[in-house]
Amino acid sequence: MEAIPPLARWLHFMAGIMWVGLLYYFNFVQVAALKAAAADGSAAAINRHITPRALAWFRWASVATWLTGAALLGSNFIAAFTLQPGHRAIGIGAWIGTILLVNVWALLWPAQKIALGMVEANDAQRNAARRRAFIVSRLNLALSFPLLFFMGAAGHAAAYF
Amino acid sequence: MKNPLDSLPAAVACGLALTLALYLIVRYALGS
């Protein structure tokens, strides 16, 4: 049983790096790249071959990160989510991570399916979905900053708080 | 009004400001 926390922490780090790394790829690289590619007519290749694969890894990494995080919290799960004394820093991180996960599956993914033409939609609906996905992705980018701070700070509470 | 999240630097600034605000709340209002 004592092997579970270090194993969960290792898997949590790997899945979290995949998740947040792809979030940063979308926001720091792909948005600008698609704008440039649209200008020279090469955006379709990115949207056909790269975006769906990156999104699939992004979505499932979010699930793996949350589940391994929950395993890592173990018996402290309720204490963290109810922000009990001694668990507030990790609790804030856990809440932000949960908000990001919900954003990915409830807001981003439905909008991305429309934007990428995976479901029937007209041009106006596709443009609205593209805009919605962009704003939610940017919101998750901003939320990832406190998420990573509180995840890291929780292990060094004496130094930070 | 333009959404600040339209700009990448503004989105980064929002993230940093949010981090600072939450840190101050946890440190001075809630305690760790």
Domain ranges of chain A: 4-160
pLDDT in tens, A104-142: 999 999 999 999 888 999 999 999 999 999 999 999 999
8-state DSSP, A26: I
Q: Give A94→chain B minimum CA distance, Å.
A: 13
Q: How far is B15 from chain A (nearest CA, A)?
A: 4
> What is the DSSP secondary structure assignment for residue A156, as one 8-state letter?
G
Assign residue B31 a region (left: φ > 0; alpha: ψ between -120 and 50; beta: otherwise): left
**Å between A146 CA and nearest CA of chain B:** 4
The pLDDT mean for chain A works out to: 93
Rounded to two decimals, what is the model's pTM?
Answer: 0.92
CB distance A104 to A140 below 8 Å:
yes
Tell me the chain B residues in contact with residue A143 when contact means C-beta distances shorter than 8 Å: 15, 18
Integer angstrom CA distances of residue A46 from A37, A88, A90 = 8, 41, 37
pLDDT at B12: 97
What ipTM describes this predicted complex?
Answer: 0.91
CB contact (8 A) between residue A89 and residue B14: no
In 3-state terms, what secondary structure has residue A120? coil
Q: Which residues contact residue A36 at a Cβ distance below 8 angstroms, ignoring those fewer than 6 apart?
A: none
Structure tokens at B20: 């600072």
CA distance A148 to A13: 11
For A25-50, where are the alpha helices, taking DSSP H only?
A: 31-40, 43-45
Nearest to A65 by CA among A31, A16, A132: A16
Nearest CA in chain A to B21: A146
pLDDT tens track for B18-32: 999 999 998 887 765
Partner-chain contact B26 A28, CB within 8 Å: no
pLDDT in tens, A89-105: 999 999 999 999 999 99
A81 interfacial to chain B (CB closer than 8 Å): no
Given a contact cutoff of 8 angstroms between Cβ atoms, the answer to whether A12 and A65 are in contact is yes
CA angle in degrees (0–180, nearest 5) for A124-A25-A153 = 120
